[in-house]
Chains A and B, each alone.
Chain A
């Protein structure tokens, strides 16, 4: 299991407030996403980060935001929110609008903000993992000391191309951190049914990659592990494999209404006790860093913030028809017509 939390306080009260606010905002944003999906204002496949907020917030505050490279799969709303992307443009993309980061052509699974060095946003399970190694390869080649964070799921950690990536990352000392978010399920398939060894961090072992299993629910623990590992990778210019234990509270995607097919209500409720937001609140309360009133006010503010984001995004028009032909190439348009 994950190591128990043993954290000396490195966070200022102001920082903790920021992290708390971001976790609340992610949850409120994601809750809106599930809602608009049901209303038909978002479509396709849409996957929320509810329950996993401490992982994203913790790790993305351990890197140099806007300098280090970040990449994930299709569960990709939270990372750009933390990295400071425009939430209205993110929501607009999820709603398929003109002002979205991909002009409505990417959708929920394909969010990108290259300016913030957030490289998406990928729908093919495991497919982005060599791209992550590539970002690290490129940055290192250019003589920069950027670290690359590449998030992937427990299900994705079985992909052949992931093992190929690990081998090359180790062979060429690439400063990439693979973060396997072990939320115990790959869609409707439980970890034990898809992985021969459920200690996924061990997948670094055959390649001589430093690897460990860490907690993903206790923000303070996440921060301290993440800082240690990011520092190591930046300094040593070597890959690292981290297995982060978390849990998704929602269905696999907004269209997954059948959670009972792969987990029981009791099991879910038990895991909800690990709620990273509640856990941080307990800490803030116990250490007298924040009053209940303040927390309630912040919760309310996050809800209002998310409503405002949605309202703004909803004002954005749908893209023009001609948009369908744009951005296929840098320098030409594809053949037009049916």
Chain B
């Protein structure tokens, strides 16, 4: 299988192209994705390649887009909906949660909703309070949805294939800070990354840092600094929130006896709280210290860079938070 150097953004695009080529019922819908080449350029070139039938420029109507895609999925299409940013998916929560996610159950198994809702989630650079939401925790609360948040180029590529081939609605969040990430990966037909499998991205013995999406990289940076202090931190990249691979997380915690969960979302009630609760519930006897959460500040995202940076957890915040369990 060919090895290619790709950015995160190109990896997503490559996967979309391969899936569109192999299945004529895969299509992409969203705002400014076609003629304008996509706000974050994930869909660059696709309109020229596939035309308006399969690369559908929509009006700015998120609930309508998700609803139409869901309806189309019911009769056999496999739509990929691009949210210009996941913050705008808030408008479509009703279609997503109250319609798409419950359909299988309410129809007693008659409905099949192969739908992917993907786009950048989390803070970017000074986009202020209305454009900086981390939505994955909201979605991971909902039975009927699958929710993934890949941190690497390889996972972006491989998990998108899994998402497109999944027969259930999948929320696929991409942190805007990751689009430029580069790596050499193998691509091609059979190459995919399954859901529900966390990944140990750094081995360690003294504590476990747990993150997903861009926070995996923050965990890695923190682990690097901890190493300088002689502390060996293991890093688990959760990758898939729903389904959640608790076994990989637990195995690591059982080895290191300390757990730190890092997430960009508001600390209070964010998905990291769920991970922390599970560790406490199931690994209580293995823990040598309380589980630590490091989350975003519980405020709407401010505009000025200085305050924005205060809100988003970085490696120093992680180091500070674990002072108490070292």
- Which B residue's beta carbon lies closest to that of A162? B61
- Which B residue's beta carbon lies closest to that of A155? B60
A335 and B91 contact, Cβ closer than 8 Å, known pairs A107-B304, A109-B128:
no
Q: Point out the residues of chain B lying under 8 angstroms from A338, CB to CB.
A: 267, 294-297, 313, 317, 320-321
Q: Which one of B30-38, B68-76, B179-187, B219-227 is at the interface?
A: B30-38
Q: Mark B280-306, 1 if CB is under 8 A from A, else 0.
A: 000000000000001111111011111
- Tell me, in angstroms, the Cα distance from A109 to B300 when the chains sit together: 15
- Tell me, in angstroms, the Cα distance from A53 to B96 when the chains sit together: 40
A104 touching B60 by the CB < 8 A rule? no
B36 touching A262 by the CB < 8 A rule? yes
B35 touching A188 by the CB < 8 A rule? yes
- Tell me, in angstroms, the Cα distance from A321 to B297 when the chains sit together: 12
Q: Point out the residues of chain A lying under 8 angstroms from B61, CB to CB.
A: 158-160
- Tell me, in angstroms, the Cα distance from A190 to B126 when the chains sit together: 27
Report if A261 contacts B (CB, 8 A): yes
A187 and B31 contact, Cβ closer than 8 Å, known pairs A110-B303, A159-B61, A160-B61:
yes
Q: How far in angstroms is the closest Cβ of chain B from A271? A: 19
A324 and B32 contact, Cβ closer than 8 Å, known pairs A158-B61, A338-B321:
no
Q: Point out the residues of chain A lying under 8 angstroms from B317, CB to CB.
A: 338
In the complex, chain B residues 121-151 whose Cβ is within 8 Å of any chain A Cβ: 125-131
Q: Point out the residues of chain B lying under 8 angstroms from A190, CB to CB.
A: 35
A124 touching B36 by the CB < 8 A rule? no
Q: Point out the residues of chain B lying under 8 angstroms from A160, CB to CB.
A: 61, 63-64
A104 and B304 contact, Cβ closer than 8 Å, known pairs A45-B127, A124-B91:
yes
Report if B82 contacts A (CB, 8 A): no
In the complex, chain A residues 97-116 whose Cβ is within 8 Å of any chain B Cβ: 97, 102, 104-107, 109-110
- Which A residue's beta carbon lies closest to that of B127? A44
Q: Point out the residues of chain A lying under 8 angstroms from B300, CB to CB.
A: 328
A189 touching B57 by the CB < 8 A rule? yes
A321 touching B307 by the CB < 8 A rule? yes
- Tell me, in angstroms, the Cα distance from A156 to B58 when the chains sit together: 12
Interchain pairs with CB closer than 8 A, number = 137
In the complex, chain A residues 121-173 whose Cβ is within 8 Å of any chain B Cβ: 122-127, 155-156, 158-160
Report if A323 contacts B (CB, 8 A): yes
Report if B8 contacts A (CB, 8 A): no
Q: Point out the residues of chain B lying under 8 angstroms from A186, CB to CB.
A: 59-60
Q: Point out the residues of chain B lying under 8 angstroms from A158, CB to CB.
A: 59-61
B36 touching A261 by the CB < 8 A rule? yes
Report if A272 contacts B (CB, 8 A): no
- Tell me, in angstroms, the Cα distance from A154 to B101 when the chains sit together: 32
Kindly state the interface size class of chain B when it binds its partner.
Answer: 35 or more
Report if B201 contacts A (CB, 8 A): no
A124 and B88 contact, Cβ closer than 8 Å, known pairs A109-B128, A188-B35, A189-B35:
yes
Report if B198 contacts A (CB, 8 A): no
Q: How far in angstroms is the closest Cβ of chain B from A181? A: 15
Partner of B305, one of A96, A262, A323: A96
Report if B325 contacts A (CB, 8 A): no
B299 touching A189 by the CB < 8 A rule? no
- Tell me, in angstroms, the Cα distance from A275 to B185 when the chains sit together: 51
In terms of DSSP, what is the predominant structure of the interface of chain B?
loop
Q: How far in angstroms is the closest Cβ of chain B from A18? A: 32
- Tell me, in angstroms, the Cα distance from A261 to B36 when the chains sit together: 6
A105 touching B307 by the CB < 8 A rule? yes
Q: Point out the residues of chain A lying under 8 angstroms from B127, CB to CB.
A: 44-45
Report if A334 contacts B (CB, 8 A): yes
- Which B residue's beta carbon lies closest to that of A43? B126
Report if B277 contacts A (CB, 8 A): no
In the complex, chain A residues 168-205 whose Cβ is within 8 Å of any chain B Cβ: 186-190, 193-195
Partner of B130, one of A43, A96, A122: A122
- Tell me, in angstroms, the Cα distance from A262 to B310 when the chains sit together: 38
Report if B113 contacts A (CB, 8 A): no
Q: Mark B21-60, 1 if CB is under 8 A from A, else 0.
A: 0000000000110011101000000000000000001111
B60 touching A126 by the CB < 8 A rule? yes
A106 and B267 contact, Cβ closer than 8 Å, known pairs A43-B126, A126-B60:
no
Residue among B125, B129, B295, B304 facing the most chain A CB atoms (10 A cut-off): B304
- Tell me, in angstroms, the Cα distance from A158 to B306 when the chains sit together: 36
Partner of B303, one of A105, A122, A325: A105
Report if B203 contacts A (CB, 8 A): no
Q: How far in angstroms is the closest Cβ of chain B from A92? A: 10
- Tell me, in angstroms, the Cα distance from A159 to B91 when the chains sit together: 10
Partner of A104, one of B87, B295, B303: B303
Report if A318 contacts B (CB, 8 A): yes
Report if A66 contacts B (CB, 8 A): no
A325 and B299 contact, Cβ closer than 8 Å, known pairs A96-B305, A338-B313:
yes
Q: Point out the residues of chain A lying under 8 angstroms from B131, CB to CB.
A: 44-45, 123
Interface pairs A-B: 7 shortest CB-CB:
A188-B36, A96-B304, A107-B303, A44-B126, A43-B126, A123-B130, A158-B59
Q: List 20 A-B contacts (CB under 8 A).
A: A43-B303, A45-B131, A96-B126, A96-B305, A104-B302, A106-B128, A107-B304, A110-B128, A158-B60, A187-B39, A188-B32, A189-B32, A190-B35, A193-B35, A194-B57, A262-B36, A319-B307, A324-B311, A336-B297, A338-B320
B residues touching A (Cβ–Cβ < 8 Å)? 31-32, 35-37, 39, 57-61, 63-64, 87-88, 91, 125-131, 267-268, 294-300, 302-307, 310-311, 313, 317, 320-321
Excluding A43-B126, A45-B127, 13 further A-B contacts by CB distance (< 8 Å) are: A96-B303, A96-B304, A96-B305, A110-B129, A123-B131, A159-B60, A188-B35, A189-B36, A189-B57, A258-B36, A261-B36, A321-B307, A324-B302
